[in-house]
Structure 1
Amino acid sequence: MIDIRRLDRDHLEPAYGLVGQRLLPWPALNAPFEGAWCVLRAGTESTPHAHHEYEIFIALTGTAEIVIGEERRPFVAGDIVRLPPGSSHHVVNTGAGDFEYYGVWWDADMAARFAARHEAAGA
């Protein structure tokens, strides 16, 4: 069975200084991670923040810079950035159009809840 969740660009929600669509809730998906499609408008930047989860960003379209702590690097379509837990980070859209990326994050608690759901389902 194919289960496709469509991106709803007309109903993206604000978070961290950008707009996006969270992966969850999605009742059919049992995953040890969370994620979000993120759209950063031209000339804007996301809100700097840090958290305890592991995280990766996958650049999809546009041109930006990723800032992690004091380090700033180009971040363009096709790049994947690893964000260690506790690292302050944000994205700066340096391009003329929208910059879009997908963020995926996880931690030990998410993995444990996934394993429990997986076992309870008898999979």
Structure 2
Amino acid sequence: MQTFRIDDSPLTSEYGIQIGRWERYPDADALPFGAMWCQVPANSSSTLDNHPEVELAVVVGGDATFTVDGRATEVAAGTAVLLRPGERHVITAHREPVRVLSLYWLPDAQGRSDD
């Protein structure tokens, strides 16, 4: 068994927030997806992002606003947000920091994301 804790992950500044990429953990490169911890400080937002990967963002702490292609949605801890390739998104934290587990992968050649 192996555990992955956000508090054990060295965080770096990327996308206007703090990121802890799982490739820094031993043997995490054997996973069939990429993963990273994301921490958005209170009263701040990530920078606008979009990418070719499918992303499953699971809010594990705090309440956030996900603005996706201009549409804002309030998201509480315990909620997962599925982002499709190319969707432009920003994560905003309000009065408290937000912690997110991001899992991502490239869709197959037919554009499916196995969902």
1:13 aligns with 2:12: yes
TM-score, normalised to structure 1, is: 0.78
1:61 aligns with 2:50: no
* Aligned residues of 1:93 and 1:99 also touching (Cα < 8 A): yes
Unaligned runs of 5+ in 1: 110-123
Give the deviation of 1:8 after TM superposition.
4.2
Cα distance between partner residues in 2 of 1:108 and 1:63: 28
Distance 1:87 1:108, change over 3 A: closer
Which one has a larger percent helix, Structure 1 or Structure 2?
1
Q: After TM superposition, what 4+ stretches of structure 1 lie above 4 angstroms from structure 2?
A: none
**1:1-123 maps to which residues of 2 (within 5 A)?**
2-8=1-7, 11-29=10-28, 30-94=30-94, 96-108=95-107
Unaligned runs of 5+ in 2: 109-115
Match of 1:121 in 2: none
Q: Describe the superposition over 1:75-101 as per-residue Cα deviations: whole angstroms up to 9, x where unpaired.
A: 11011001000110010112x221111
Whichever of the two has the greater Rg, that structure is 1
